[in-house]
């Protein structure tokens, strides 16, 4: 089936998740503690982080420590996100093309 970890900090696409991740189990986390608890029990194949805070690079680092296999997609603003973009598998800044997002997601889950 596959699982998708979703971390929302200031941004959300909740109405789109069932469409984008059809057939996947969605797991929501808000804090680093939530993420650690999730990874103790399972290993999501994909993490989607929606944030406008560049300090959330710590979440990316945490996921990378907990799993070498999880692919990470970041959705956030353009400013000061160069460090984050270097650490994730894909990144998008609103507004972005939905088709581009779907194509990148499909590419990541095939690997």
Question: What residue spans define the domains of the chain?
Answer: 3-110
For residue 79, the model assigns a pLDDT of 60
- In this structure, the chain runs to a length of 111
Q: What is the CATH number of domain 3-110?
A: 3.40.50.2300
For residue 34, the model assigns a pLDDT of 96
- pLDDT tens per residue across span 86-111: 889 988 877 777 778 788 888 887 75
pLDDT, greater one: 44 or 75:
44
Query: Cβ distance 69 to 29 under 8 Å?
Result: no
Per the confidence metrics, is the pTM higher than 0.75? yes
For residue 11, the model assigns a pLDDT of 64
Asked if residue 83 has pLDDT above 80, the reply is no
In this structure, what token pair is assigned to residue 48?
């989607």
Question: Using N-to-C axis directions, what is the helix angle for 32-41 and 57-66, rounded to 10°?
Answer: 20
Q: Where are the alpha helices (DSSP H) in 1-111?
A: 17-20, 32-41, 57-66, 82-87, 98-110
């Amino acid at each position: 089936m596959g699982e998708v970890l979703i971390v929302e900090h200031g941004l959300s696409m909740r109405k789109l998740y069932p469409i984008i991740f059809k057939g996947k189990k969605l797991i929501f986390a808000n804090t680093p503690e939530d993420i650690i608890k999730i990874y103790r029990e399972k290993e999501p194949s994909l993490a989607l982080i929606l944030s406008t805070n560049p300090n959330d690079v710590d979440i990316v680092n945490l996921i990378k420590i907990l799993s070498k296999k999880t692919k990470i997609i970041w959705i956030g603003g353009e400013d000061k996100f160069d460090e984050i973009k270097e650490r994730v598998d894909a990144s998008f800044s609103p507004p972005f093309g939905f088709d581009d997002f779907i194509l990148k997601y499909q590419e990541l889950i095939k690997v």
